[in-house]
Amino acid sequence: MGEIVSQIAAKYNYLAYIALMMIGFYAMIAKNNLVKKIIGMSIFQTAVILYYISSAYKTGAGIPILSHGTGHGHGEQVIRAADYINPLPHVLMLTAIVVSVATLGVALALAIRIYDRHKTLEEDEILEQLKEK
């Protein structure tokens, strides 16, 4: 039991992302309003982005910019990987953020088109209108 608790405590960040993901997922599935669904989608994507970023983190490491540590002017030092957080996930997530923004844009544009046509964003009302036609 204690082991499980300590494991959970050690990986609280991942649990947080899973919680975020589920919140987003819930919103996409259960909400009736299209914009709320879109917000859910954004939360859902963000959870995964955070997941990547936190995987790159190392305790006590700095940002991955080449600085020469404390010994300025004392010649070059060996670059140790442990001193820097992993830059690759950050780069990957830059791309993923761009993708998610684009998705958000397309989704909102579609929502606007739907609103123009049906004058509502509630899904059940739209379906009602479509059925009447």
Partner 1 sequence: MSSQFPALLVVLPLLAACLMVMAWWFRPSLCFPLALAGLTGAAGSALGILYKVLTGPDLLYRLGGWDPPVGIVYVVDKFNGLVLAAVSLSALIGLIGSRTNIEQEQHGKAGIFYALYLLNVAGLLGIVVTGDAFNLYVLLEIAALSGYALIAMGDQRAPLAALNYLFMGTIGATFYLLGVGILYIQTGTLNMADLALRLQPLYGSTSLLVAFLVIGMGLGMKMAFFPVHTWLPGAYTHAPSAATVLMAPLTTKVMIYILIRLTISVFTPEYVFHGLGLKTIMVWMASAAIVAGAVMALAQRDFKRMLTYVVVAEVGYMIGGLWLGNATGLTGAILHLVNDVAMTLTVFLAASALIQGMGGRNIGGLRGMFGRMPWTMAGLASAGLAVIGVPPFCGFFSKWYLLLGAVQAGRWQFAVALIFSSLVSAVLFFRLFETALFPAPDEKGQESGSHQDHGHKGHGSSPPMRLAEAPLSLLVPLLLCSAGLVALGLATRSIVVNLILPILPGGLS
DSSP 24-79: HHHHHHH--BHHHHHHHHHHHHHHHHHHHHHHT--TT-B-SS----S-TTS-----
Q: How far is the CB of 74 from partner 1 (least distance, A)?
A: 31
**What gap in Å lies between CA 102 and CA 46, rounded to an integer?**
13
Does 106 help bind partner 1 (rule: CB under 8 A)?
A: yes
Measure Cα distances from 95 to 18, 89, 107, 126 in Å. Answer: 21, 10, 18, 34
Of 33-92, binders to partner 1 (CB under 8 A) are: 34, 37, 41, 44-45, 48, 51-52, 55, 89, 92
CB closer to partner 1 out of 6 and 35: 35
Half-sphere exposure of 102 (CA within 13 A, CB side): 6
Per-position x/- string for 17-36, each x denoting binding to partner 1 as judged by CB under 8 A, each - no binding: --------x--x-----x--
Site residues for partner 1 per CB under 8 A:
25, 28, 34, 37, 41, 44-45, 48, 51-52, 55, 89, 92, 95-96, 99, 102-103, 106-107, 109-111, 113-114, 117, 126, 130, 133
